[in-house]
Amino acid sequence: MKINRYGTQPVNPYKKTYEKQTLQSNQAKSTDKVEISKKAIEMQKVPNIMKERQDKIDQIKKSIEAGTYQVDTKGIADKMLNFYKQQ
């Protein structure tokens, strides 16, 4: 019985795999890109809120140090109650 190589070609699977990897690595060389939305840019331009917040924090610190800070216990209790009623 004689076996001929008609229709078959000798294949080196390692070479084929290497060629696929080099093609993919050449095609995959793209750069990363970051885009910041307009809303995010607007949010960064609001330094006045931070200044007002810091002023309020400083005022509370001073009143605590002086011993004149008064806690609104009824207001806190009402807000806690409303929070747990919503859930």
68-87 per-position pLDDT tens digit: 999 999 999 999 999 999 87
Task: Give me the helices (H) in the chain, please.
Answer: 13-27, 38-44, 47-66, 73-86
Query: Total structural domains in the chain?
Result: 1
SS3 content of the chain, % helix, strand, coil (to 5): 65, 0, 35
Residue 26 lies in a domain: no
pTM of the model: 0.37
For residue 43, being part of any structural domain is answered with yes
Would residue 6 count as lying in a domain?
Answer: no
Instruction: Identify the pLDDT of residue 87.
Output: 73
**pLDDT (tens digit, 9 = 90+) per residue, 14-52?**
677 777 777 666 655 667 788 999 988 887 776 777 788
60: phi then psi, degrees, rounded to nearest 5: -65, -40
The reported pLDDT for the residue numbered 2 is: 64
The parent domain of residue 75 ranges over 37-87
